[in-house]
Amino acid sequence: MALGGMFRNAAAIYLHLVGPFRGKKSGASLARCLHQTLVMTKQLQARRLDGIDHNPWVEFVKLASEADVVNLGQGFPDFPPPDFAVEAFQHAVSGDFMLNQYTKAFGYPPLTKILASFFGKLLGQDIDPLKNVLVTVGAYGALFTAFQALVDEGDEVIIIEPFFDCYEPMTLMAGGRPVFVSLKPSPNQDGELDSSSSWQLDPTELASKFTSRTKALILNTPNNPLGKVFSRAELELVASLCQQHDVVCITDEVYQWLVYDGCQHVSIATLPGMWERTLTIGSAGKTFSATGWKVGWVLGPDSLLKHLRTMHQNSIFHCPTQAQAAVAQSFEREQLHFGQPSSYFVQLPQAIQRCRDHMIQSLKSVGLRPVIPQGSYFLITDISEFKSKMPNLPGAADEPYDRRFVKWMIKNKGLMAIPVSIFCSVPHQKLFDHYIRFCFMKDESTLQAMDKKLQKWKDELRP
Ligand SMILES: Cc1ncc(COP(=O)(O)O)c(C=O)c1O
């Protein structure tokens, strides 16, 4: 038998060499020596993962799966997508067999076509489906592709906090340097609930963050976790600084249809001079309440998108064809109903505003102080009162208070939320460690389960 056939793998070599010595002293040391050569001793983790290998989400998502906990933490709807979208997916799976195969790398043509025509009207641009649209694996895929394609070693990226938590690791993995600037609440009348609109950027502080190394600014409106919808005036400030310093604006607008109280979502790409330097990111998951479909897109000028196409072609290649077909058909339906009461983009925010208001009323009953969100799936609530009444919750001394509070709430009250310090840079966590984030994009039955838990909590508060 040829030698190569005898020793098919490392385990076989090990057994062959060590087996006869088992139980003998000299054998034990030989075994140790051989074991060391078989276990890899090289530095395995790529340097780009340094500092980002611990993700608090893993811990909190695990806690949410514990028995009898109402999960108001993670951002997904626990109700079905609209019938027309589900039917479109069923049709994609059972119809044309070619939808089981690869499609064009930069997007299934009917999808890039409808995205171009739908968003072309909204953004006031003549969008070319081949040059100005890239379909990605969710908005996550769009963000990753954008950071990898544009951010170079040492480039600075301005991140407005609190921020969707992947912006920081994505900047770092691309070799960039995150530069943080915080939204800060303005003081309100005592007893009144705060609104996310009163959280603002200090224009002087924002301007001071731009340097000759600034490559990009990442904007998220409506914002996760705060639910802030940036006003036109705020966007004009960001736009003028981006233009003044020749900076790309990456704008994450995945919650654009979820705005409340008549609030208007404004895309920064529609402001004068901004289309040329803006990447606008969207998500079918958030648009059609189907987060598992993982279809996203980026819209922008060819001068930027050509680099994203290079990156995408050489990494992800493309997003599943059937999901793209379902999204294409869903957008075609929405285009026909646009602006009418039958439109999902009209009906969804109305329904979700009721969920938001329900949650606000319920949370107030136990002394939590919600900040009223103008948009998104989320609201944050102030827990300062609890911080002063129960400052010594279990947990490590350096663990931010909001994380200890959420663990306490899961264990003692059966309710899961997400600590807001997760959405902040480490040096600024103290500024935000008295807020927690709840997701109200939930079915009526989940909100009722929340009410039961809160009623019990309220009863326990009675002297
Ligand atoms: C602000 C923001 N951007 C992007 C995403 C990711 O979207 P997708 O599920 O389409 O990847 C999320 C998901 O929670 C989000 O909140």
Amino acid at 376: S
DSSP string, 167-185: HHHHHHHTT-EEEEEE-EE
Question: 438: domain CATH number?
Answer: 3.90.1150.10
The 3 state secondary structure assigned to 304-323 is HHHHHHHHHHCCCCCCCHHH
Tokens of 405: 């509070």
State the distance from the centre of ligand 1 to the C-alpha of 191, rounded, in angstroms.
Answer: 33
Atom in ligand 1 nearest the alpha carbon of residue 376 = 16
pTM of the model: 0.91
Domain match, 18 and 122 both:
no
- Say if residue 210 is in the same domain as residue 327: yes
What 3-state class would DSSP assign to 11?
Answer: helix
Tokens representing 205 are 């502080």
**What pLDDT was estimated at residue 10?**
44
Residue located nearest, by CA, to atom 7 of ligand 1: 139
Residue 75: CB within 6 Å of ligand 1? yes
Spatial separation of the C-alpha atoms in residues 97 and 392, rounded to whole Å = 60
pLDDT tens digits for 370-429?
A: 999 999 999 999 999 888 888 889 988 889 999 999 999 999 999 999 999 999 999 999
Shared domain for 318 and 204, answered yes or no, is: yes
Tell me whether residue 163 is in a domain: yes
In a domain, 48, yes or no: no
Q: Is the CB of 140 under 6 A from ligand 1?
A: yes
Verify that 159 and 239 share a domain, yes or no: yes
Supply φ then ψ for residue 436, to 5 degrees. -130, 155
The per-residue pLDDT for 13 is: 42
What local confidence, expressed as pLDDT, does residue 128 receive? Answer: 98
Residues 115 and 158 in one domain: yes
Domain edge (last residue) among 275, 302, 337: 337
In Å, what is the CA distance from 351 to each residue of 78, 259, 355, 439? Answer: 14, 11, 7, 14
Of all protein residues, whose CA lies closest to atom 16 belonging to ligand 1? 224
Residue 76 CA, ligand 1 centroid: distance in Å: 10
Q: How much is the pLDDT for 3?
A: 39
The response to whether residue 89 sits with its C-beta less than 6 Å from ligand 1 reads no
Burial 27-41 (b: 16+ CB within 10 A, else e): eeeebeeeeeeeeee
Quote the number of domains for the chain.
3
Q: What is the pLDDT of residue 28?
A: 61
Residues in the chain: 463
Whether ligand 1 lies within 6 angstroms of the CB of 296 is answered as yes
> Would the CB of 375 count as within 6 Å of ligand 1?
no
Answer yes or no: do 209 and 160 share one domain: yes
Q: Are residues 235 and 261 in the same domain?
A: yes
Q: What is the pLDDT of residues 184-224, one digit of tens each?
A: 998 776 667 789 999 999 999 999 999 999 999 999 999 99
188 CA distance to ligand 1 centroid (A)? 31
pLDDT of residue 29: 66
CA of 104 to the centre of ligand 1 (A): 24
Instruction: Show the domain range for 22.
Output: 2-38
Ligand 1 centroid distance, CA of 284 (Å) = 10
Cα 254 to ligand 1 centroid, rounded to whole Å: 6
In a domain, 198, yes or no: yes
Q: Where is the domain boundary, 337, 367, 395?
A: 337
Q: Is 278 in the pocket of ligand 1 (CB under 6 A)?
A: no
What confidence score (pLDDT) does residue 163 get?
Answer: 97
Same domain, 319 and 362: no
User: Does the beta carbon of 129 sit less than 6 angstroms from any atom of ligand 1?
Assistant: no
- Best residue for ligand 1 mutational test, from 164, 279, 294 (most atoms within 8 Å of Cβ): 164
Together in a domain, 347 and 200: no
pLDDT, residue 2, reads 41
Which pLDDT does position 37 carry in this prediction? 63
Question: What one-character-per-residue DSSP string does 327-383 give?
Answer: HHHHHHHHHHHTTSTT-HHHHHHHHHHHHHHHHHHHHHTTT-EEEBPSBSSEEEEE-
Residues of the chain with pLDDT under 70: 1-37, 189-191
48-64 burial, b at 16+ Cβ within 10 Å, e below that, comes to eeeeeeeeeeeebeeeb
Q: 252 - beta bridge partners?
A: 220, 281
Ligand 1 atom having least distance to the Cα of 294:
10
Q: Are residues 354 and 434 in the same domain?
A: yes
Q: What is the DSSP letter of 55?
A: -
Q: How far is the CA of 283 from the centre of ligand 1 (A)?
A: 7
Strand partners, 416: 71
pLDDT for 20: 47
Asked if 223 and 241 touch (Cβ cutoff 8 Å), the reply is no
Q: Is 47 inside a domain boundary? A: no
The CATH number of residue 172's host domain is: 3.40.640.10
Residues 295/324, Cβ–Cβ less than 8 Å: yes
d(CA 178, CA 217): 10
d(CA 286, CA 257): 9
